[in-house]
Amino acid sequence: MTCSLFLGTYTEVQTKMRKIPQGLRLGVATAAFQIEGGWNASDKTPSIWDNFCHIPGRVADGTNGDDTCKSYEFYQRDLKMLKFLGVDFYRFSVSWPRVLPNGFANKISKDGIGYYSKLVDELIAIGIEPVVTIYHWDLPQSLQDLGGWANPLIAEWFEDYARVLYNALGDRVKTWITLNEPKQFGIYGYGTERFAPDICSAGTGEYMVVKNMLLAHARAWHLYDKEFRPTQKGNCGITIATDFREGLTDSPADVEAGKLALDFEVGFYSHPIFSKTGGFPERVVKRIAEKSAEQGYPRSRLPELSKEEIALISGTSDFFGFNHYSSKFYTTETYKRGMFPIPSYNDDIGAVGTYGGYKEAPVIHTKKIPNGIRKALNWVKDQYDNPEIFITENGYGTSSGSNDLERIDYYKEYINAVLDAIEVDGCRVSTYTAWSLMDNMEWSSGIGAKFGLFEVDFNDDQKTRRPRASAFWYKDLIAKRTLDLEAKPQVEEISF
Ligand code: BGC
């Protein structure tokens, strides 16, 4: 059978039971700020997210990251949950201000690094591989006070921080992810008020930081490659939000708007690292330069990458770290000048993006459009000569309840599309990661948006975790290494 989602046609494998390919490892992910709590434990200093959440009105439900799941205290219960699921690996992140309370590498917190070292040891002891994200958005406030990602020196600060982690954990950690989703913390944090550090410098701030992020990532990769890989023998890469974008209709203007949006949203970060030519995508460079000139700026609002910088960044990822939640469709038809602030990222794209007529989802950015993940995987394959892809996040948001059949449906259909991408299209996907192990602090949405395979009782001081139906379902998928599209999970009352 063939199926088409606005544009593009794919052949789908029609079977209700599919073997998970041998080379596909299955895991779950979390991030430090979202689960650890212990925001001022020992010598930890505040991150930009601690401070952002403490400002009244910034988080939808008024919650903060002070406690969340208390994993800093209760991580051993997380280990039991991981064991229960039977995952191959666990992707977690390190909190920069917990390890380096000054932000700089002149002082390493014994308790901070000790926490992650124990976590790594205990994961390995139960046969689960630790996959470590170096930066998942919780910058030390002390570095933000110096400009944060807008200060070019951050490339050095980040490299120093990465060195501390490679030195302390690299004998046991073999998979490193430098940055999680540069687009999200750059665009939302520096171009809008949605995320910390709430700089709101639309049309300029978010472009200044892209260059610094790419250089920071590249330095951390080169450091690993030259000084640590020879003895530690691991991999190091970056994770990019790779939600799919395409035209809403097949009019030439919409098709082009879809391509431009994909280059703005994904290619901006992936092109400099993975493309043969290096540097930012041409469409993006041209569009921002044109709009900047129209708006009377003496030069493009997008800082240039020099030849040396392009060369430094090019080829600096051992895999394509791929996060995916949903897809959007772009049209120029309903776009009107002035509907977005001028200048701004959205105005630069110059088209309106929507989730199309797909079924509503409780958390809008996880609308279920399974064919989109396949298209995104194929886009990466075609653009970048079929790199190895680690799906480092994929998941569905709900607002409540433990009988999360909708989440199971989402996972079934997305994993099915991933298997089509591997088996029919030849995409080299070797890792699939469900987001998330448990409910957590969903950034400025607070604890109201639930992404967990495990439900967390946030009113209870023990932050008791209970497996949802989806946890039983994922456990079964992992144990049988089979995707059964008709499987119904056997649920039991247990807690951790
Ligand atoms: C982020 C996660 C977040 C998830 C769900 C991703 O963009 O990496 O931290 O919780 O989306 O919104």
Give yes or no for residue 10 having a pLDDT over 90. Answer: no
Give yes or no for residue 7 having a pLDDT over 80. Answer: no
181 is catalytic: yes
Q: Is the dihedral angle over the CA atoms 468, 470, 474, 479 positive or is it negative?
A: positive
- DSSP bridge pairs for 18: 483
Provide the domain limits for residue 338.
17-484
- φ/ψ of 247, rounded to 5, equals -70, 145
The span from the CA of 33 to the CA of 187, in Å, is 19
Residue 331 lies in a domain: yes
Residue 12 lies in a domain: no
439 lines ligand 1 (CB under 6 A): no
Residue nearest to atom 3 of ligand 1 (CA): 442
Q: Which residue has the tokens 């991030």?
A: 31
| Average of per-residue pLDDT across 157-162 | 99
pLDDT of residue 5: 42
Give yes or no for residue 2 having a pLDDT over 60. Answer: no
The span from the CA of 257 to the CA of 335, in Å, is 11
Residue nearest to atom 9 of ligand 1 (CA): 31
Q: How many domains does the chain have?
A: 1
pLDDT of residue 135: 99
Residue 473 lies in a domain: yes
Residue 5 lies in a domain: no
Contact 127, 65 (CB under 8 A): no
More confident of the two residues 232 and 357: 232
280 lines ligand 1 (CB under 6 A): no
298: Cβ–Cβ under 8 A, 6 or more apart, which residues? none
Give yes or no for residue 487 having a pLDDT over 60. Answer: yes
180 lines ligand 1 (CB under 6 A): yes
CA of 446 to the centre of ligand 1 (A): 12
Q: What is the pLDDT of residues 383-418, one digit of tens each?
A: 999 999 999 999 999 999 999 999 999 999 999 999
pLDDT of residue 3: 37
Task: With residue 435 as reference, give the H or E element that holds it.
Answer: strand 428-435
Give yes or no for residue 27 having a pLDDT over 90. Answer: yes
138 lines ligand 1 (CB under 6 A): no
Give yes or no for residue 252 having a pLDDT over 90. Answer: yes
Point out the catalytic residue in the list 36, 246, 309, 393: 393
| Average of per-residue pLDDT across 415-431 | 98
Residue nearest to atom 10 of ligand 1 (CA): 442
The span from the CA of 289 to the CA of 286, in Å, is 5
Tell me which of 266, 393, 410, 444 to substitute to probe ligand 1's pocket, judged by most ligand atoms within 8 Å of the beta carbon: 393
| Average of per-residue pLDDT across 288-302 | 98
Q: What percent of the chain has pLDDT over 70?
A: 98
The span from the CA of 364 to the CA of 281, in Å, is 28
- φ/ψ of 328, rounded to 5, equals -130, 155
* Cα separation values, 200 from 92, 203, 204, 345, Å: 29, 9, 9, 11
Q: Which ligand 1 atom is at minimum distance from the Cα of 181? A: 8
Q: β-strand 244-247 against 175-180: which pairing, if any? A: unpaired
pLDDT of residue 9: 66
Question: Helix or strand or coil: residue 304?
Answer: coil
Would you state the structure tokens that stand for residue 428, as one six-digit string?
């080299």
Confidence of residue 458 (pLDDT cuts 50, 70, 90): very high
Q: Determine whether 102 is exposed, middle or buried from the number of CB atoms within 10 Å of its CB (0-12, 13-18, 19+).
A: middle
Q: What percent of the chain has pLDDT over 90?
A: 96
413 is catalytic: no
3-state helix vs strand vs coil in the chain, percent to 5 = 40, 20, 40
What is the chain's mean pLDDT, rounded?
Answer: 97
Q: β-strand 352-354 against 465-467: which pairing, if any? A: unpaired
Contact 433, 440 (CB under 8 A): no
Residue 156 lies in a domain: yes
CA of 253 to the centre of ligand 1 (A): 31
The span from the CA of 37 to the CA of 462, in Å, is 12
Point out the catalytic residue in the list 36, 129, 159, 181: 181
Residue 2 lies in a domain: no
Q: What is the per-residue DSSP string for 459-495? A: TSTT--EEE-HHHHHHHHHHHHTEEETT---------
Residue 168 lies in a domain: yes
Confidence of residue 14 (pLDDT cuts 50, 70, 90): confident
CA of 333 to the centre of ligand 1 (A): 30
181 lines ligand 1 (CB under 6 A): yes
Residue 257 lies in a domain: yes
CA of 186 to the centre of ligand 1 (A): 14
- φ/ψ of 311, rounded to 5, equals -70, -40
The span from the CA of 481 to the CA of 421, in Å, is 17
CATH of the domain at 470: 3.20.20.80
